[in-house]
Amino acid sequence: MWLDKIVRFFNVLTNSLSTFLNSIAGFVLVAMMFLTSLDVALRYLFNSPIPGSIEISQYMMPIVISFGLARCAREKGHVSVELLISRLSGRKKAFMNSLINIFFFTLFGLITWQSFLRAIGMITSGLKSEVLAIPIFPFVLTVSLGCGVLSLVALKDFFESLMEALK
């Protein structure tokens, strides 16, 4: 069936992309932990904190969050309330899940598009951080990338639910 091939393609694509982005998020999270620990230690031991450490941690956070979203969605780790859907039969439940997933895909597709446009606007305006004068647009692009992969996961889930509803 053609739908089965689409699901397999999106399964491989989203698995590799979400795993790669999640690995980057883990690395950045560890770097953020070391930066914060070193900043606190230097502040209390030598009364000399790392200049801009809070700003750097602030800009690491969108990478950690947006790059971890897709992997969490692939593993069905997000909180979901299935109070009404759990009472439905198999096909009706799959149909409702497909509607929810297409809404999810549309919502995060719009977030991807708007954050990409926001990053383009930041490039043209030359917006930079206050302390270290770091350009902000790369961090907005990471949000766009993370949400884009998350929307692909939602599209894969839509096709899986649709395939189950059509059986």
d(CA 111, CA 120) in angstroms, rounded, equals: 14
User: By residue range, what is the domain housing residue 7?
Assistant: 2-166
Q: What is the mean pLDDT of residues 55-77?
A: 94
Q: Into how many domains does the chain fold?
A: 1
pLDDT value, residue 81: 65
Single-letter amino acid, residue 135: P
Q: What is the pTM of this model?
A: 0.89
**pLDDT (tens digit per residue) in 1-36:** 678 888 899 999 999 999 999 999 999 999 999 999
pLDDT value, residue 154: 95
What mean pLDDT is reported for the chain?
92
Burial (CB count <10 Å: 0-12, 13-18, 19+), residue 100: middle
Contacts of 144 (CB under 8 A, 6+ apart): 112, 115, 116, 119
User: Is residue 158 within 8 Å of 108, Cβ to Cβ?
Assistant: no
**pLDDT (tens digit per residue) in 94-133:** 888 899 999 999 999 999 999 999 999 999 999 998 889 9
